[in-house]
Amino acid sequence: MKSSLKWALAVALTSIPTMAVAGMVAPDSVKIEDGVIAMSVSGTAGNPEAGAKIFKSKKQGNCLACHANTAMKKQLFHGEVGPTLDGVADRWKPGEIRAILVNSKAVFGNETVMPGFYSLEVGKNPRKDLIGKTILSAQEIEDVVAYLGTLKE
């Protein structure tokens, strides 16, 4: 193997663990500044198709329980508790959407009933088996951010 190829391979292999560790942000380390989380909490971009599945899944995001979304009009039981998400990408920037998903109470205050999907602030008397866990993973947050980014007027 040529020495330049060995050197390039060595650099690539040693940078992989650093990228993985530096990329994801633990839920208790996420910083919301002025209603924004500018960078990905998972360290990678989201997948809109995966985000759509999470959005409509009753076992994951269950976003349709509170929000109407014309793009998913074939799904049953759209809620009216939260605002419609039609055109949400025109109203909010990705960093704002991310902050709302991660911890809506940090953005809107305690008036909102929306849970923090990547927060350890779970309120009073949580089930013991859920303490220290988030509703969605960091990558699932990014997937939903990517999906919501497709919802334009």
Dist. CA 150–CA 153, nearest whole Å: 10
pTM over 0.75: yes
In the chain, the domains with their CATH numbers are: 25-148 (1.10.760.10)
For the segment 53-70, the average pLDDT, to the nearest whole number, is 91
- C-alpha dihedral sign at 60, 65, 30, 126: negative
Residues 90-133 have pLDDT tens digits of 999 999 999 999 999 999 998 899 999 999 987 778 888 888 89
Residue with the bigger pLDDT between 124 and 21: it is 124
Residues 28-41 have pLDDT tens digits of 999 999 999 999 99
